Amino acid sequence: MRKTALVTGASRGIGAAITGKLIREGYSVVGIHKGSTHPRSLPNLEMHVVDLSKNTQIKRFLETVKTRHFDAIIHNAGIIKFEPPEGIDIDIWYETLATNLTPAVLLTEGLLSNINKGGSIVNISSTDSFVGSFSSLAYSATKAALNNLTKSLAVKLGKRNIRVNAIAPGWVDTGGGMLLPSSRQAAELTPLGRLAKPEEIAEVVYFLISSQASFITGATIVVDGGYSCVDYVMKKEAEEVSPI
């Protein structure tokens, strides 16, 4: 019997890569997307248009799948918006919170009785969650909160043998979208010398929901090619002393 996974933000970027990977591994996928892109048609893929920033639409979706059972839930959907240099744009704050964090709580809570014993939840966080942000503090704050939510859910759901983990990707080449031209300079600072491919994040998702990760819960796995190990000033200092 096929296992079933729910993937949010399933129509593009990391979400599309996760969806494709799970289907290739024998899963049926229930995907959520906002409707701004036309998702590719794949066998064993059922797509739903849901604006996750709207609680009413989440409730309507939960009603639609109330008789379904899931072996994995991947909270991937998220937005990033840049604030002005000074001050806080409270509208961006509320929109980011409503999209990046609250749906993970509402969907998990709403589907608790639908998650099979031994099931797994994976939250897609970011390495931005570990540092201060100059222009996207709402994004960084919600991803940091997602890391902590991962730990709390792991504690709460462990007795039901449901594992909860997070992945914190570094810079990922999704073909545009969340990347600015200056963002591509990250490859120069990454020890592996490039940005991640969405498929590489999907591979870690599949590992975490598999039996190979059966004793991993409450963890945030960094997948960044070593980027977070690098101090920019120390790197430049070393290049001045002895070019790398």
**What whole-number distance in Å separates Cα of residue 102 and Cα of residue 10?**
18
Residue 141, token pair as written in the block = 């704050």
Rg (CA), the chain: 18
139 belongs to the catalytic site: yes
Supply the DSSP string of 6-72, one letter for each residue: EEESTTSHHHHHHHHHHHHTT-EEEEEE-SSS-PPP-TTEEEEE--TT-HHHHHHHHHHTTT--EEE
Catalytic residue among 139, 206, 227, 232: 139
Residue with tokens 């960084």: 140
Burial class (CB in 10 A: 0-12, 13-18, 19+), 151: middle
Q: How far is CA 142 from CA 42, 97, 150, in A?
A: 31, 6, 12
Quick one: how far is CA 171 from the chain centroid?
13
CB atoms inside a 10 Å sphere around CB 18:
32
Largest Cα–Cα distance of the chain, in whole Å? 64
Catalytic residue list: 139
